[in-house]
């Protein structure tokens, strides 16, 4: 079996059992996703996950917000999806997708706001809330 040694600054050396080695770097860039409930006195249920992380079933009360953070992956495209529901309405979409939604956020924080008519994504650089998704029945 090979051995692993940390060289610091996100770089690891892997020693192969039969000689030789290769390096692997992981991304130390941190991103944040925030969910905000502006549903006029209605609770928002949601379940967010990625390929490797399941953040569990949760509920946001009116005017509450919840935030999670993660590091980008160099091996696969970092992606988080969420299922949302309130009353008889549902929505399902990626709340973060490296290069796509990450760009639309305008920075390291993606801020999603649930409203009666759908979901809005706030772009930090332009200071605009843009409607991105509708609710489904």
List, as one string, the DSSP characters of 115-133: ETTEEEEEETTTTEEEEEE
- Summarize the confidence of residues 75-93 as an average pLDDT: 94
CA distance 112 to 38: 10
CA distance 98 to 63: 28
pLDDT of residue 4: 40
Largest CA distance in the chain: 64
pLDDT tens digits, one per residue of 43-72:
999 999 999 899 999 999 999 999 999 988
Lookup: tokens for 125: 């650089």
pLDDT at 109 over 70: yes
pLDDT of residue 8: 44
pLDDT at 27 over 70: no
Q: What average pLDDT does the chain have?
A: 84
Domains annotated on the chain, with CATH: 30-133 (2.60.40)
pLDDT of residue 23: 41
pLDDT of residue 52: 87
Residue 66's SS3 state is strand
Among 85, 45, 48, residue whose Cα is nearest residue 61 = 45
pLDDT of residue 126: 94
Place of tokens 């590091």: 71
Report CA-CA distances (Å) from 8 to 96, 111, 116. Answer: 28, 32, 47
């Amino acid at each position: 079996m090979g051995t692993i040694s940390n060289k610091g600054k996100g770089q690891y050396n892997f020693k192969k059992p039969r000689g030789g080695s290769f390096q692997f770097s992981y991304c130390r860039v941190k991103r944040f996703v925030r969910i905000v409930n502006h549903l006029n006195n209605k609770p928002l249920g949601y379940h967010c996950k990625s390929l490797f992380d399941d953040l569990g079933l949760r509920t946001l009360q009116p005017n509450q917000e919840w935030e999670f953070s993660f590091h980008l992956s160099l091996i696969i495209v970092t992606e988080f999806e969420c299922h949302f529901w309130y009353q008889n309405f549902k929505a399902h979409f990626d709340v973060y997708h490296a290069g796509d939604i990450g760009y639309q956020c305008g920075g390291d924080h993606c801020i999603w706001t649930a409203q009666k008519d759908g979901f809005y994504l706030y772009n930090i650089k332009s200071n605009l809330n843009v409607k991105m998704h509708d609710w489904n029945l």
